[in-house]
Amino acid sequence: MIANSLNPLFVSAGLLKQEPGNNFPVKVFSSLELESKYLNSSAALRDTSSNSKIKLTGSEDLSLLNRISTNKVDDLKNLHAVRTIFTNDKGRILDSQLLINFSGYRLLYGSPGKSLLIYKWIDRFIISDDVSPSDTTLNDISFEIIGPHAASVAVLLFGNDVDNLEMNTAGIYFIESDGYHVIKTTEFNGDIKFIVLSTMHSIKKIIEVTANYTGPIEFGWVGDEAYELYRIQKQIPNENELTDEFNPHEIKLINEVSFTKGCYIGQEVIARLDTYDKVQKFLTPIVFNSGLPPALPAQLYDHENKDAGILTSVYLYGDLDQREGLAVVRKKYLEPGVKLKLKNEILNDFETLVTIK
């Protein structure tokens, strides 16, 4: 499911050139170097309109979500947010989503391409509950402000009051007559970020302000090329890692799991893995040493051709001798410099391609 493209607005504001292959999602606004600088040294804005968005209403929606996801959410206060994971009965990940409690409704904000899966999963457990879910991904516009100086850009756009937001809370802010929901939260790796929910009409004002800004704060919009490199280097899982191949322990998301609230779907498996220290694999950064990888996910092997883990993400842009990536690797191989192999299915042979960072 593809959300509304903001490309015409970016082009009209002079932020984006119309070039073949740089369509939705945008790959590059300016250059990889400049956009990487925004992400790592100052602040960046990233269009996340394709992220999954499920709206829930009804008097029992929080109670239902508490029974079918990993974190304690039934007492979530108004204008507060919490991350929770939807897992199947084997404790494997369907998606990690941010749940925000707005007055009159709740919003689940998750990974791109996951809205139909999560909608159907929630609907499956509604029997006589007073809960009504709806998929608003196609209608809602969103973007994120990330980077070391994200707070400064949030204040620039929405005023000093946004600086008073506590962690994992939301507020409504205005630019002239246009209103925006702003959520202050953290990325999976703990870095602070702001999620902004908008409409197609209201986002025009944001794009105009960012395009015309000439002040001292250095920031800009970033595309997929720069963000994907940033994500991999920061070990931020996306839909490649947030799949039913893995459980929350393996993707290092156990902080999104409550061990005190009682039963939920997959609870018994996740608790047993924790109690008996049975987790065998963990997400780790790797260096891919040759050309382009096979289709992902790809099986990794050790020097004896034994299962060593799964390669999940590789930075695919550019012509590089070495490519950074992420893999879920068995514990005994998690030492910097350990070399693992990928199988060339065409040649039916093994090549040494992956090094643990």
Residue-wise pLDDT tens digits, 103-161:
999 999 999 999 999 999 999 999 999 999 999 999 999 999 999 999 999 999 999 99
The C-alpha angle with vertex 61 and arms to 55 and 66, in degrees rounded to 5, equals: 115
We find that the CATH architecture of domain 7-50+139-233 is 2-Layer Sandwich (3.30)
Asked if residue 350 has pLDDT above 60, the reply is: no
The residue that leads in pLDDT, 17 or 166, is: 166
Tokens found for residue 140? 């809602």
Q: How far apart are CA 215 and CA 217, in angstroms?
A: 6
**Homologous superfamily of 51-135 in CATH?**
Aminomethyltransferase beta-barrel domains (3.30.70.1400)
Q: Helix 224-233 vs helix 32-41: angle between axes, to the nearest 10 degrees? A: 40
3-state class of 215 per DSSP? coil
DSSP label at residue 251: T
Mean pLDDT for the chain overall: 93
Q: Which fold has domain 280-356?
A: Elongation Factor Tu (Ef-tu); domain 3 (2.40.30)
Residue with tokens 């989503």: 97
Confidence (pLDDT) at 124? 97
The phi and psi torsions of 71 (rounded to 5 degrees) equal -95, 165
- Sorted by where each begins, the domain ranges of the chain are 7-50+139-233, 51-135, 280-356
| pLDDT tens digits, 246-295 | 999 999 999 999 999 989 999 999 999 988 889 999 999 999 876 666 78
Query: Both tokens of residue 56?
Result: 């829930």
Which residue, 45, 222, 8, is CA-closest to 150?
Answer: 45
- Picking from 321, 352, 357, 308, the residue whose alpha carbon sits closest to that of residue 336 is 357
Query: What percentage of the chain exceeds 90 in pLDDT?
Result: 83
54: pLDDT strictly greater than 70: yes
Confidence of residue 233 (pLDDT cuts 50, 70, 90): very high
| 191/193 Cα distance (integer angstroms) | 6
pTM for the complete prediction?
Answer: 0.95
